[in-house]
A and B are shown apart, each in its own frame.
Chain A
Amino acid sequence: MLFCSTTPLLLLQLCSGLSLDTVRDFLTREEDTIVFSLIERAKYPLNPPAYYVPAYFAGRRHDASFAELFVRESEAVQAKAGRYQSQQEIPFFPFRVPFPLAPPYNFTSELYSAAAFVNVNDEIWSVYFSLLLPLLAKNGDDGSYAATVASDLVCLQALSRRINYGRYVAEVKFRGDQQNYTTLIRNKDKDALMKLLTSEAQEDAVKRRVQKKAMVFGRNVTLDGPVETGDSNNGRASFKVDPSLVYKLYGQWVIPLTKQVELQYLLHRLD
């Protein structure tokens, strides 16, 4: 774990070794990031014009929403700065950049290269805008479309990172039980693989923990006395993001999509 002192520390990064523990630590830390990003998005109302297609600007019509245009352009800037060089993050709109301006860094690759491309960014995009946003943000339009979509991008990146991390989860599981997995992969036995990848007890713990984080991070912190815990008549109104929405997000989308990634990765693991 990282401490907040100034002494140099050993960092639990992929390059120092992939294990079930490092993978779990990463996923657990990513929960905080996801909850923060949802809370920050919920600061703005829905702002529907940001998502209308087509978008009009500079006198031209674009067959994409303002949100999509903004994300494309942002990812291009980030790519120029060297993002997406490690395999850990995958852009929503792949962009070929010949000369990243970032100082070079030798990232070790822990993933099997033929399977590293596996991702579900298209599904994440669609779930986020069609299903999650309407539940997350209040109705309304305050005109701050750029800030709104910038915060959408942060949510998307966090969800994408977490869900596509399934590749690392799958890699660790594969290495831990190579014979068994190899047989199932050769037989393309998706059901059996999915069974191996599923632990209901663990998934339940994850959902409950992330729901709790939404309660802790989304509360209204004041200096007077104990803070509302949400079980009084105030209920959910006192949280910036509905904790049960976060529970649902993980249960219906984050965990299943992560397992999809794990499965797809494994199916390519012997290519």
Chain B
Amino acid sequence: MAEQLSLAAVRGALIREEDSIVFALIERARRPRNAPAYYAPDAGTDDGRSLAEFFVREAEALHAKTGHYEKPEDVPFFPQDLPSPLFPIKGYPKVLHPFASSVSVNDAIWKMYFNELLPLFTVDGDDGYYAETVALDFACLKALSRRIHYGKYVAEVKFKDAPQDYSPLIHAKGTDALMNLLTFKAVEEKVKKRVEKKARIFGQNVTLEDGVDKHEGSADDSECKVNPKVLSELYDRWVMPLTKDVEVEYLLRRLD
């Protein structure tokens, strides 16, 4: 990713990440809500954490030992007390301002995912497969976090393309003005439509009877494993706004 920092490369990465997000949600939707995975008991376990939080903390500790959180787009949900990498890490070219590694909106992503998104695309029910469920949640969280934190690269590319436009706003700490400059409604509409289309195509029931292009145009959304409208809402209400929050937060320190 960092080797070729151009708007095309960054857009390509964002587009590829859409597929990952759609796949991850489809896989999670295979299991019902499984609410017990998210209960935080007030007594019993060590610190009253939910199974989901326990699992993500442990999984991230393992990822950290393997050097996974070195790149700016890979941001942990529980950064405190993460172990240091135990494996030799391959170096990568640093194309962002050093401040980039401290930009994180993972708290917002976590809350959004469990409180707002999960109820939208999982059915009520409990099948007891809590460990599998939280592993699938972790995959969704990782994909969403990655996509949103790519905003750091988006911001860098935009800044480099027009430093004369961004610098005065950065100096003035004009958050709203920066947000305006970063927003391209037409592009956002395209992104929403495309991710909705992907949900329709990847979430369909593929059989041998129909042609490969069956669900190109209109489709029976109720047959899709995840309602395509959920994807466009996800991107509209959370993914794109949070990405821009990352972009603004990055830019505000860009000239430090």
Residues of chain A touching chain B, judged by Cβ–Cβ distance below 8 Å, are: 1-9, 11, 13, 15, 29, 32-33, 36, 39-40, 43, 49, 55-58, 66, 70, 73-74, 77-86, 89, 101-103, 105-107, 141-147, 149-150, 154, 205, 208-209, 212-213, 215-217, 219, 221-223, 226-227, 229, 240
Option from A4, A89, A103 in Cβ contact (under 8 Å) with B222: A4
Contact partners of A143 in chain B: CB under 8 A: 89-92
Residue among B129, B193, B226, B227 having the largest count of chain A Cβ atoms under 10 Å: B129
Contact partners of A1 in chain B: CB under 8 A: 205
Q: Is B16 an interface residue (CB 8 A)?
A: yes
Separation of A91 and B213 alpha carbons in the complex (Å): 38
Option from B124, B135, B225 in Cβ contact (under 8 Å) with A83: B135
Is the beta-carbon distance between A73 and B212 smaller than 8 angstroms? Answer: no
Q: Is B99 an interface residue (CB 8 A)?
A: no
Query: Given the interface contacts A83-B135, A103-B51, A213-B206, does A221 sit within 8 Å of B194 by beta carbon?
Result: yes
Contact partners of B153 in chain A: CB under 8 A: none
Of the listed stretches B26-34, B160-168, B169-177, B235-243, name the one at the interface; the rest are far from the partner chain: B26-34
Q: Whose C-beta in chain B lies nearest to the C-beta of A214?
A: B206
Is the beta-carbon distance between B125 and A215 smaller than 8 angstroms? Answer: no
Is the beta-carbon distance between B23 and A223 smaller than 8 angstroms? Answer: no
Contact partners of B98 in chain A: CB under 8 A: none
Contact partners of B230 in chain A: CB under 8 A: 4
Q: B241 → chain A, closest Cβ, in Å?
A: 21
Q: B14 → chain A, closest Cβ, in Å?
A: 14
Is the beta-carbon distance between B201 and A216 smaller than 8 angstroms? Answer: yes
Is the beta-carbon distance between A221 and B201 smaller than 8 angstroms? Answer: yes
Separation of A15 and B54 alpha carbons in the complex (Å): 27
Q: B63 → chain A, closest Cβ, in Å?
A: 6
Separation of A4 and B26 alpha carbons in the complex (Å): 10
Contact partners of B123 in chain A: CB under 8 A: 2-9
Q: Whose C-beta in chain B lies nearest to the C-beta of A213?
A: B206
Total inter-chain residue pairs, C-beta < 8 Å: 168
Separation of A141 and B3 alpha carbons in the complex (Å): 13
Q: Whose C-beta in chain A lies nearest to the C-beta of B17?
A: A43
Is the beta-carbon distance between A39 and B19 smaller than 8 angstroms? Answer: yes
Separation of A170 and B123 alpha carbons in the complex (Å): 30
Is the beta-carbon distance between A223 and B68 smaller than 8 angstroms? Answer: no
Q: B217 → chain A, closest Cβ, in Å?
A: 9
Q: Whose C-beta in chain B lies nearest to the C-beta of A218?
A: B19
Option from B58, B74, B88, B190 in Cβ contact (under 8 Å) with A223: B190
Q: B67 → chain A, closest Cβ, in Å?
A: 6
Q: B203 → chain A, closest Cβ, in Å?
A: 8
Query: Given the interface contacts A81-B54, A145-B87, does A212 sit within 8 Å of B206 by beta carbon?
Result: yes
Contact partners of A36 in chain B: CB under 8 A: 23, 26-27, 202
Contact partners of A8 in chain B: CB under 8 A: 123-125
Q: B78 → chain A, closest Cβ, in Å?
A: 14
- Tell me which residues from 164 to 216 in chain B have a Cβ below 8 Å from any Cβ of chain A: 190, 193-194, 197-198, 201-202, 204-208, 212-213, 216
Is the beta-carbon distance between B201 and A40 smaller than 8 angstroms? Answer: no
Separation of A125 and B134 alpha carbons in the complex (Å): 24
Contact partners of A144 in chain B: CB under 8 A: 68, 71
Q: A185 → chain B, closest Cβ, in Å?
A: 31
Separation of A222 and B15 alpha carbons in the complex (Å): 9
Q: Is B59 an interface residue (CB 8 A)?
A: yes
Separation of A163 and B92 alpha carbons in the complex (Å): 39
Contact partners of B125 in chain A: CB under 8 A: 8-9, 11
Option from B59, B87, B88, B206 in Cβ contact (under 8 Å) with A77: B59
Query: Given the interface contacts A103-B39, A105-B128, does A2 sit within 8 Å of B225 by beta carbon?
Result: yes
Separation of A143 and B68 alpha carbons in the complex (Å): 10
Separation of A83 and B66 alpha carbons in the complex (Å): 22
Is the beta-carbon distance between A83 and B132 smaller than 8 angstroms? Answer: yes
